[in-house]
Amino acid sequence: MDVEVFISSTRNKIISRHIHNIVVTTWLADWLHTLPFEAEVIWPARWNLVKFLYLFNRYFPVDIIFSYIYIEVPDVEMCRVSYIICSVGLILSLGMSEAVIFIRLYALSRQSELFRWWLIVQFFAVHAIMFALLGPFLASFRWVPSPVPQYVACLPVAANTLYATVSFGLLMANETLIVLVMLYIGLMRHRHTRSSLVKIFYRDGLVFFLFLAASSVVNIAILASLPPSNRTLFAIVSSIQCSLAE
């Protein structure tokens, strides 16, 4: 491996470790801060799809766990497996968070049958395409053992990022369409409402969209401009944002 590439890869794997620690700390702080409210409101509620999606996304941080393994375990095969699981976990986390937004939007639309089917088709089409693109993206990755495993576990040296770039672009387009529809419904049907619940739905939906859009833009910029060792720097943040936005 070229010395300059090795130095860059090592530096950015260390940056990845610091980013991981920051976002995990943020996730834990948010969990502790919102736990009393969750115990009061969410836990006593009857089980339904929204409660399942919320709790599963909040208490099953598979991408966080395996991103830690990917950063810390000095084994090339373990790097490969943990990165695959982390990537799948990221898409599942994004999907569950988006599902909650879609269900909220359906409720705000006054439960139109046609609108419900449109949301279902859009949701599954977008995420099916993302999973389809994930396969060739992961297959294009190549890792090498680290010369200094005590500091850096393994080093990604090659990847075709076009698939991931398209996925993040599709995700941003999907969210943009949903937020435009949400604003249209709000203006047409809830413009004069005084319901605090409706206002919370719109506030949370817009916050989620802004976080996800910003995350997608940063990820696309990283994938397009940086070498392979740098291209996973921000992906874990996208997943954490989903848990925080919920």
Phi/psi at 192 (5° precision): -105, 15
Give the domain ranges of the chain: 3-245
Higher per-residue confidence, 184 vs 227: 184
Q: Indicate the average pLDDT of the chain.
A: 76
Q: At residue 86, does pLDDT exceed 70?
A: yes
The domain 3-245 having CATH identifier 1.20.1070: the answer here is yes
Give the span between the Cα atoms of 104 and 121, in whole angstroms: 16
Please give the model's pTM, rounded to 2 decimal places: 0.76
pLDDT tens digit sequence for 127-157: 999 999 988 988 888 877 877 776 667 777 7
Query: Exposed (0-12), middle (13-18) or buried (19+): which is 80, by Cβ within 10 Å?
Result: middle
- Exposed, middle or buried by CB within 10 Å (0-12, 13-18, 19+), for 30? middle
What is the 3 state secondary structure string of 172-219?
HHHHHHHHHHHHHHHHHHCCCCCCHHHHHHHHHHHHHHHHHHHHHHHH
pLDDT at 59 over 80: no
Q: Identify the DSSP state of 109.
A: T
What pLDDT score was predicted for residue 236? 52
